[in-house]
Structure 1
């Protein structure tokens, strides 16, 4: 029998027919300074901006980013077609900038890991955790936890410019995780 889902109390055994075709498209985080955040996400994490949407009447912009992969389809050049394409992808990061927030010296976002806890982190997988750790050090990235620290080894946490946590993992090292 093919795998469909691990089973725990509360898990519905068969997918409701009405949810066929649903896909997780993106998760959103608010950012204070788009220039600083985009430099981090594109220059340090290697993401690309697929689409920026400005909402002048509401004074905010959305930036949709992904980690390009081999064999991934090429985004369309036409902005309307690329918008549709972007909203049909999986696992994107949306950075939301409320205009003027970069000029507010008191503005800080809750990272979700201090009290009261809530949102925790996003995760980026890398092909070589040791090389990624050196890359982050070379780029002055703040570590919350290095791969050799704590009880959960082979997992790192770094902080982005707004204080959000980003978990960094090398999938090949995680086969015994949770056993």
Structure 2
């Protein structure tokens, strides 16, 4: 493993995404075999380089000295999400075909949302992943604002 593959900047910062997972090997296989990431470190923590970012995965656990009062665990409810991974692609149809053929289960096929084409899938622990391709926004067409309560 080369140090350039680790999320360890010499200057500035890099953004990584940490996932608490129930089975590191299963999640590592999903992010590397299905989504095409490169396994940088297999365990403790598992680090997968995905395009120009990193997914870091470890099992959950209780509080530690640097995060007192905080317990980490995978999502308990697949129907409720407070955050999700957002992956932007150049060709969403090709991505949808390729990842589906490798076993990814999308909630829907790509849908035209005016500003972008978009679809979602879940990883083995139920984390929601948005896959999108900019379309209309490249021409100044953006999504409608959310409805406001009167």
**Could you say whether these structures have the same fold, taking a TM-score greater than 0.5 normalized by the shorter chain as the test?**
yes
TM-score (norm 2): 0.64
Displacement of 1:66 after TM fit? 1.6
Q: Deviations over 1:6-63 (max 9, x none)?
A: xxxxxxxxxxxxxxx652431211111122111110011111122356xxxxxxx211
TM-score (norm 1): 0.55
1:143 aligned residue: 106
1:33 aligned residue: 23
Gaps of at least 5 residues in structure 2 are 1-10, 62-72, 145-150
SS at match of 1:158: strand
1:63 and 2:46 aligned: yes
SS at match of 1:43: helix
1:13 aligned residue: none
The two structures, once aligned, show a CA RMSD in angstroms of 3.1
Residues 111/170 of structure 1: CA separation in 2 closer, same or farther (3 Å cut): farther
Task: Please list every run of at least 4 consecutive aligned residues from structure 1 whose deviation after the TM superposition is greater than 6 angstroms.
Answer: 149-152
Residues 148/95 of structure 1: CA separation in 2 closer, same or farther (3 Å cut): same
SS at match of 2:130: strand
Aligned length: 121
SS at match of 1:41: helix
Larger C-alpha radius of gyration, 1 or 2?
1
Residues of 1 paired with 2:76 and 2:113: CA distance? 20
SS at match of 2:103: coil
Residues of 1 paired with 2:133 and 2:113: CA distance? 17
